[in-house]
Homo-oligomer: A and B are copies of this chain.
C-alpha cells in the first residue's frame, strides 16, 4: 500500500506533493537506470506508492518521463506529423517544419537543451537521451523507412542535422542562420533531409 493510499498526514488522493514525489522518484530512477532500465514499478517503489497510482496519474512510462523531464510535447504526435499518411514523400519538409514548430518556442526547447547539456556532461544522461530518442522518436519515425536500405542511419542523419541546426540557430546563434526566417530554413534544409531519406550515398 502506497503512502497516499494510507492517507499519510491526511493528504487527499491526488494531493500535489504525491505527484511531485512520483516525479522526483522518476527523475532519480531514470537517471540511475536509463530509460530502458527504469520501470514504472521501480519508480513507484522509490516514491513509496502503488504502481497503479503512477499509471493512474501519468499513464505510460513514456508519459511519466515527459512529465518528469518537463518536456511539453508528445513524441507520438511529432512522429505522426513527420510520417503523415505520405510516408517518405515530402518527409524532409515535414520534419523541418515539425522541428521548427517545437523549437521556435522557448518552452519547447529549454527541456531538450537541459537534457542535451546533461548528456554532454555525464554518460548516464547521454544513455538516457540515447534510449529516449531511440524509443520515442526514431522507433516511430522508422515506420516510414521500412524497405529503405540503411533506414536507421538515414533517420539518424536527419536527426543529426536537426540537432545541429538547433545548436547553431538557438544556442550559439551564428549569423545569419540565427535570424533567417523559418521559411528560408525550410527551403535550405528540407531538400537535404529529403536527400537523407531517398538520395544515393556518394555524390550524384
Contacts and interface: CB of A to CB of B under 8 A. Distances in A.
Interface in A126-171: 126, 129-130, 133-134, 138, 152-154, 156-157, 159-165, 167-169, 171
A192 B126 CA distance: 27
A38 interface: no
B171 A120 contact: yes
Copies in the complex: 2
A191 B163 contact: no
A112 to B, nearest CB: 11
Interface stretch (A14-22, A79-87, A195-203): A195-203
Contact of A203 (B172, B176, B180, B191): B191
Interface string A110-125: 0001001101110000
Given A133-B174, A154-B188, A161-B161, 13 more contacts: A117-B120, A119-B171, A120-B171, A130-B174, A133-B172, A153-B177, A153-B180, A156-B177, A162-B164, A164-B164, A184-B201, A191-B204, A192-B192
Interface of A: 92-93, 113, 116-117, 119-121, 126, 129-130, 133-134, 138, 152-154, 156-157, 159-165, 167-169, 171-177, 180, 184, 187-192, 194-196, 199-204
